[in-house]
Amino acid sequence: MPTVMIAGAAGFAGRHVAAEAARQGAALALMSHRRTPHRPNPNPGPGGPVRFVRADLADPDSLRGVCRGVDVLLHCASLIGGTPGESDTVNARGTAALVAEAQRAGVSRIVYLSTASVYGRGTFSNVLPRDLERRPKSSTSRTRALAEDAVLAAGGFVLRPYLVYGRGDDWVVPGLTRLLRALPGRTSGWNARLSVISVTELAALLVGTGLAPHERLSASVYHAALPDPVSASQLLRAVAALAGLDPAGPEISPAQARAWLREDRKASSTLDMVMTDHWFDSTQIWTDLGCAVPGTAAHRHLPRLCGTHRVPPAAAGHGTGSTPMDEGQRPL
């Protein structure tokens, strides 16, 4: 029975990763610095012992000894939207300190949950990590790229999703809901192709990467999404159905939407997520892990949004308070 430590176990992705690791029978060390993680219910599955670890990436002294007895470290903790100094302290230096502690403790596998936002702005069409350069635009993405470097230098693995939805998401679906409420018409003709994944499927990929035999892993950096992209119209239609919206008015193009929202910086930032192709080739991780791809067709996959979100009220402001293109998903 391997012992798996999950850094950021109380966060959006971390709690789902803990549940998946428990389902697979691992012993768990759940690390968090504020909230106490929920004890996962290993149903089905026997589950292993669970211990809680209080430690803070911003305080290297608190990390001493946390990895003792750990076989696999799944690092799902990042600071999103902090100041440049805070981001550097937590994401870059904190990750470097955690990785060093893992190496001292003899941890055999380190997997880091990163983001496709390290590529910066642009159009991305069916591309592998090896085909892209990282050009992060925000301090959050820049310091997460530095965190990647620390993990890779230690022989670890990096997963980069783009849009992640599911229970606990306070970024993608809420932001797109506010965007739809801000627009004066319908978006049925938006053809940008987008890489998406549910947080439960992402958790399965993270745990799978952590536990797979080394010879099965053909890369150190993977894109983590469903292999088939969805169109922006399909995604927005699913979000509208979830929010109970019935967009009326004329058909508007993404360019018209940009002009309409030019005074609304937050909504414009959310629009960046769906204006152009952000399709990251993710077939490699599914093939390497030997996983069956769950419901890749949009008509089967996107309805699973229903029942997994708390939709923001119509009175809420537009946008999400940061730049969605720079931070495509929030692992905390």
How far is residue 202's CA from residue 224's CA, in Å, rounded to a whole number? Answer: 7
pLDDT in tens, 154-168: 999 999 999 999 988
- As a three-state string, the secondary structure of 210-277 is HHCCHHHCCCCEEECCCCCCEEHHHHHHHHHHHHCCCCCCCECCHHHHHHHCCCCHHHHHHHHHHHCC
* pLDDT score recorded for residue 304: 59
Q: Does position 321 have pLDDT exceeding 70, yes or no?
A: no
* pLDDT score recorded for residue 44: 53
* pLDDT score recorded for residue 325: 34
Q: Does position 299 have pLDDT exceeding 60, yes or no?
A: no
Q: Does position 265 have pLDDT exceeding 80, yes or no?
A: yes
* pLDDT score recorded for residue 193: 96
Average pLDDT estimate for 109-120: 97
Average pLDDT estimate for 76-81: 93
* pLDDT score recorded for residue 269: 86
Query: 56 φ, ψ to 5°?
Result: -130, 125
Q: Does position 140 have pLDDT exceeding 90, yes or no?
A: yes
Q: Does position 62 have pLDDT exceeding 70, yes or no?
A: yes
pLDDT band with cut points at 50, 70 and 90 for residue 328: very low
Give the tokens for residue 238.
């699913």
Q: What is the pTM of this model?
A: 0.89
* pLDDT score recorded for residue 35: 75
* pLDDT score recorded for residue 271: 93
| C-alpha distances out from residue 132 to 80, 126, 129, 171, Å | 23, 11, 5, 25
Alpha helices, H only, 43-125: 84-87, 95-105
Q: Does position 101 have pLDDT exceeding 90, yes or no?
A: yes
* pLDDT score recorded for residue 303: 59
Amino acid at 45: G
Average pLDDT estimate for 207-214: 97
pLDDT band with cut points at 50, 70 and 90 for residue 246: confident
* pLDDT score recorded for residue 45: 56
* pLDDT score recorded for residue 43: 57
pLDDT band with cut points at 50, 70 and 90 for residue 264: confident
pLDDT band with cut points at 50, 70 and 90 for residue 317: very low
Residue range 3-165+197-223, CATH number:
3.40.50.720
Coil/strand/helix, residue 114: coil
* pLDDT score recorded for residue 327: 38
* pLDDT score recorded for residue 1: 82
Q: Does position 329 have pLDDT exceeding 50, yes or no?
A: no
* pLDDT score recorded for residue 33: 87
pLDDT band with cut points at 50, 70 and 90 for residue 125: very high
Q: Residue 53: enclosing H or E segment and its boundaries? A: strand 50-54
Nearest in space to 232 (alpha carbons), one of 265, 186, 266, 264: 186
Give the tokens for residue 44.
């089905």
Average pLDDT estimate for 259-280: 91
